[in-house]
Amino acid sequence: MDKVKVGVAGYGTIGQRLADGVALQGDMELVGVADLAPTLSIRALKERGMPYDLYLVEGAERAQFDALDIPVAGSFDGLIGKVDIMLDSSPGGVGLKNKTLYEQKGVKAIFQGGEKNEVADVFFHGYANYEKGLGANYLKLTSCNTTGLIRTVDCLDRECGGLRKVAITIIRRVADPGDYHRGLTNALKIDKAPSHQAVDLMTIMPHVEATGILVHTPVTHGHIITVLASGKHKISKDMALEAFARQPRTRIVSIDEGFLGNASLFRYARDLGNPRGDMYEVALWSDSIVESGDDIMYAISIPQEAVTIPETMDGIRAAMRMQATREEGTQATNKYLGIGKWRK
């Protein structure tokens, strides 16, 4: 079988990681990435020896790239014509405009969480509804928080006899590392309830009632989510811990090991030598799992810059019918990304 040809639109925080993720997949080929300006990310790409071909979107000024000796392989339209599927990580709203180009070329596309759900045929998650994405032309990924949240909620739902409802609290980082547009602040900010993550979870898993509160915090390295889950039957701490331990993209950690919070996890990822300090797995504190009557409560950490990459690879597999089931699709993604190697 020929490798599936993939392009990436937008080489920012997510686009860089999407490109790296595709490049690691043994059954996919990264044709190139597209962007508008010679950003620091593009300059770093050039300094790394241009491992990926660069294409320019409409409105880009070629002279700016030439002045920096940044090689350009062609236009965005040319990239679209060479691929089977595009991964669109453009700024919110731009992906919807790009969809017209994809439709004209008969190319499939996967959009990231910043786009509205209406841009796609299927609101997608690799574990919760993989089969709904089979053969679809346009998929949209859940946000970083929703992606990690659904991994654990879906895990309990499948492994512990089903869930009735969940109540979540999200302690959300205010910006990605290096972003300045949010300003410098020393305050917490609360959003109106319910949070979109709870609404999105119900869109993916309509049989689970969800509600949630979101609080913005002046930090950059990751979110923390607490979840109170109500099962159809009582879920004990041991049942939950055993179930979570079987979820490939969930890493069990503890405070006693030194994982005191989001900064500990980011530092550990850097110490592991992970590129950019990324971690694909969500971390779940065993110390946080407590029984509350028949309910179970736990806390997870979301590495917002990298957590959606595995599910996007799953999306390619579903849309291109590379694997027919969630088990086969997610296992292939995990193998190529090296997810779960720490378990050995």
Residues with a known catalytic role: 144
Backbone angles phi, psi at 84, to 5 degrees: -90, -30
Taking the CA atoms of residue 86, residue 91, residue 93 and residue 95 in that order, the dihedral angle to the nearest 10 degrees is -10
| Nearest residue to 171 via CA among 151, 198, 189, 194 | 189
Partners of residue 223 on adjacent β-strands = 302
Q: Residues annotated in the binding site, as ranges?
A: 35
Dist. CA 38–CA 72, nearest whole Å:
11
Q: In the structure encoding, which two tokens stand for residue 193, read together? A: 């309830």
**CB distance 241 to 252 below 8 Å:** yes
The SS3 call for residue 247 is: coil
The SS3 call for residue 342 is: helix
Backbone angles phi, psi at 317, to 5 degrees: -60, -40
Is 162 exposed, middle or buried, given 0-12, 13-18 or 19+ CB atoms closer than 10 A? middle
**CB distance 340 to 334 below 8 Å:** yes
| Nearest residue to 65 via CA among 30, 34, 91, 23 | 34
**How many Cβ atoms are within 10 Å of 223's Cβ, its own excluded?**
27
